[in-house]
A and B are shown apart, each in its own frame.
Chain A
Amino acid sequence: MADHVLSPNLAVDQEADRILKAQRRRHLVSMVLRYGILAAVGLLMLYPLIWLVGASFKTNSEIFAGAGFIPHEPTTSGYVNGWKTSTPYTFGHFFWNTFLIVIPKIIGTAISCTAVAYGFARFDFPGKKVLFASLIATLLLPNVVTRIPQYLLFRDLGWLDSFLPLWVPSAFAGDAFFVFMLVQFLRAIPRDMEEAARVDGANTWQVLLFIVVPLLTPALISVCLFQFMWTMNDFLGPLIYISSVDKFPVSLALKLSIDTTEAFEWNRILAMSVLTILPALIVFFVAQKYFIEGISAGGVKG
């Protein structure tokens, strides 16, 4: 090296090379750090769920014996015993009840929210501003303040211990979040097709049914999926309104099995917990893009 005469050009090259190397090194460190943090957080997010599934196949004596999730003597006794429950009904009966709550609720939500969102996004009428403001206010209104009079109202209607208190408010577009989401979505869709159809003589119902609804489908799927999750997970609603065991949804049945199962029969409870979250988990993985898009759209455009 010493023999060579360093041309100024070469010095610049070396300097550039050194900076580039430093940059690459910094980039590498940054990447390692990023992946390290993400992997650690990912583990914290997923390991509890993996453990839950694994432990549900363990024997009771093994559940608290180690931190691993792989059962040494895999058993389905938790599922078999848990499924029987301590009531006259099987867990299948409680799943059936859950779907009896969820399905009508989703249908009512989808129909009412579509109509209302269409009204907000495509029409001018007296009081529109006030009504839209009320939608936002409802979005922020804590349920806790309306819950007691709602209960009294449903009691006076004779609806206690039936699914009606859980269905009916949703069928009147009671979930402001969904209306809001659909309005935002509709506002982003150009009106050309609708106007063309109107010129051709279609009335607004036909426009809604044959043009708007097909365009709205992705957003509607998001709405149905979120409503499915929230209703599956809902605990306080059934807790307040459903009192007879034969009408319990799984959330109440799981609580009941905690209260009635012998203290050491852990795998029964874990097995039933796995079953409780299973429908939501399957639906999420089948349709995850609708969740991510739905939540991003509802949040960011707000």
Chain B
Amino acid sequence: MSGDNRFLGLIYLSPYIIGLLVFTALPFAASFYLSFTDYNLMSAPVFTGIQNYIKLFTADRTFRKSLWVTLVYVFTTVPLKLAFALFIAVILNYKLKFINFFRTAFYVPSILGGSIAIAVMWRYLFADVGIVNMALAGIGLEPVNWFGDPTNALFTITLLRLWQFGSAMVIFLAALQSIDKSLYEAASIDGAGKFSTFWHITMPLITPVIFFNLIMQMVQAFQEFNGPYIITQGGPLKSTYLLPLYIYEQAFKRFDMGYASAIAWVLFAIIMVLTVIAFWSSRHWVYYAGDKRS
């Protein structure tokens, strides 16, 4: 809208700009500074250089365990969830009856899943005498000790997140439905088989959405808190003690704000590095159809 004051747009943005500075930028910088201090809320922060980081990487076995568990969790949950979401979206993307019913049914867990009531439900479902073990017994399998065994406990949390594949699936489905049908007709005339069509036509066209889902799910998975906090309290033997739990306990139970900030920054650095790798590699595998991005 020409003729207007060129700063008019900034007036509309003013809430955002204030919020960005006060609630994001300032805390962001402050947390970086705090990570180099010793600060327990009782007295002013004391600058200690890289002491916190040295302690984290040399003396803190809980941190090492927690970091490892977090990486295992993210690298199993995210690929499984994306693969499953895409698989179901491909099945749904077909002239099926009840497609809306299925889409809704698959989406409901995602809408409720963040609630701690669902985490509570998970505790009951996977209890030693819960219905999951009853179902296993029904098909002749041994009951599984879902929470008591360190290897299984983390997987139980992963299952909780897999159960919420719906939001990623809805995004995949929308992308699949927006693919031009004439491309498939052309491929079929050329005699391409189903898998070949999927691999050479469908996959390239939905890579932007795969990329979007990958980033979003990864950032989310690194911050998983409710599941392990409610279901396993980080145990057994810290096998589900993800980094956000460790940060929470250091910051809000022990009020060791400096050390907690240092852990938060390690977590942040890992997320950043992986995001940068994803963006960098996306040039080679993400395909933007006729879209010159500016």
- A residues near B (Cβ < 8 Å) are 31, 34-35, 37-38, 41-42, 44-46, 48-49, 51-52, 55, 63-64, 66-67, 112, 115-116, 118-120, 122-128, 131, 134-135, 138, 140-153, 168-169, 171-174, 179, 194-195, 198, 204, 208, 229-230, 232-236, 239-240, 251, 254-255, 258, 266, 269-270, 272-274, 276-277, 280-281, 284, 288, 291-292, 295-296, 299-300, 302
Q: Is the CB of B27 within 8 A of A150?
A: yes
B contact residues around A171 at 8 Å (CB): 15
Question: A122-B1, A142-B268 in contact; A42/B275 too (CB < 8 A)?
Answer: no
A21 → chain B, closest Cβ, in Å? 19
Which residue of chain B is the closest to A66 with respect to CB atoms? B134
Contacts A64-B129, A300-B175 known; A233 to B114 CB distance under 8 Å? yes
Q: How many A-B residue pairs have CB under 8 A?
A: 259
Interface status of B51 (Cβ within 8 A of chain A) = no
Q: Which residues of A contact B252 (CB under 8 A)?
A: 151, 239-240
A235 near B226: Cβ-Cβ < 8 Å:
yes
Q: Is the CB of B9 within 8 A of A125?
A: yes
- Chain A nearest CB: distance from B69 CB in Å? 16
In angstroms, Cα B176 to Cα A133, docked, is 28
How far, in whole Å, are A239 and B251 apart by their CA atoms in the complex? 13
**Cβ of A277: which chain B residues have Cβ within 8 Å of it?**
112, 115, 117-118
Residue interface mask B233-276, A partner, CB < 8 A = 1? 00000000000100110011000010011001101100100010
What A residues does B20 contact at CB under 8 A?
134, 138
> A118 — which chain B residues lie within 8 A by C-beta?
12
Nearest first, the 10 A-B pairs at minimum CB distance are: A123-B9, A172-B19, A119-B12, A149-B27, A296-B174, A233-B114, A299-B171, A149-B30, A273-B117, A125-B9
Task: Please determine whether B174 and A300 come into contact, CB atoms closer than 8 angstroms.
Answer: yes
Q: Which residue of A lies closest to B91 (CB)?
A: A34
CB-defined contacts of A141 to chain B, threshold 8 Å: 24, 28
Q: Are B116 and A254 in contact (CB under 8 A)?
A: yes
Q: List 27 A-B contacts (CB under 8 A).
A: A37-B88, A42-B106, A44-B163, A67-B131, A67-B134, A115-B12, A120-B13, A125-B6, A127-B10, A141-B24, A142-B267, A146-B28, A147-B247, A149-B31, A169-B19, A172-B15, A233-B115, A234-B114, A235-B225, A270-B120, A273-B120, A277-B117, A291-B107, A295-B171, A299-B174, A299-B212, A300-B209
Point out the residues of chain A lying under 8 angstroms from B127, CB to CB.
64
- B23 interface neighbour in A45, A112, A125, A172, Cβ under 8 Å: A172
B56 at interface, CB cutoff 8 A: no
Which residues in A have their C-beta under 8 angstroms from that of B30? 149, 152
Q: Is the CB of A204 within 8 A of B1?
A: yes
Query: 1/0 per position for B113-133, CB-CB distance to A under 8 A?
Result: 011111011001101011100
Does A270 lie within 8 Å of B124, measured CB to CB? Answer: yes
Residues of B within 8 A of A116 (CB): 12-13, 15-16
Bound-state CA distance A152–B22 (Å) is 12
User: For the side of the interface on B, what is the size category?
Assistant: 35 or more
Question: Are A123 and B8 CB-contacts (below 8 A) given A144-B244, A300-B171?
Answer: yes
The answer for the CA separation of A66 and B264 in the assembled complex, in Å, is 44
Known: A173-B16, A233-B115, A254-B117. Contact between A149 and B26, CB under 8 A?
yes
The verdict on B192 contacting chain A, using a C-beta distance below 8 Å, is no
Contact B15 A45 (CB under 8 A): no
Contact among B1, B92, B135, B260 with A148 in the assembled complex (CB-CB below 8 Å): B260
Instruction: Check: B103 CB closer than 8 A to any chain A CB.
Output: yes
Tell yes or no: B109 within 8 A of A by CB: yes
- Asked if B223 lies at the interface with its beta carbon under 8 angstroms from chain A, I say yes
Q: Which residues of B contact A270 (CB under 8 A)?
A: 120-121, 124
Which chain B residue shows the least CB distance to A41?
B88
Which of A46, A112, A134, A143 is B223 in contact with, Cβ under 8 Å? A143
A63 to B105, CA, bound (A): 25
Q: Are A125 and B212 in contact (CB under 8 A)?
A: no
B265 and A145 within 8 A (CB) = yes
In the complex, which residue of chain B has the Cβ closest to the Cβ of A195?
B1
Q: Decide if B193 is an interface residue (CB 8 Å cutoff).
A: no
Contact call A148/B170, Cβ cutoff below 8 A: no
Q: Which residues of B contact A147 (CB under 8 A)?
A: 27, 247, 251, 264
CB within 8 Å of A: which B169-205 residues = 170-171, 173-175, 178
Assess whether B34 is in contact with A169, with CB atoms less than 8 Å apart: no
- What chain B residues lie within 8 Å of A122 (beta carbons)? 1, 9
A152 touches B134 (CB 8 A): no
Kindly list chain A residues whose C-beta atoms are within 8 Å of the C-beta of B108.
45-46, 49, 281, 284
**B88 CB contacts on chain A under 8 angstroms:** 37-38, 41
Whole-angstrom CA separation of A42 from B131 in the bound complex: 17
Q: Does B167 contact A (CB under 8 A)?
A: yes
B222 touches A142 (CB 8 A): yes
Which interface residue of B27, B92, B257 has the most chain A CB atoms within 10 A?
A: B27
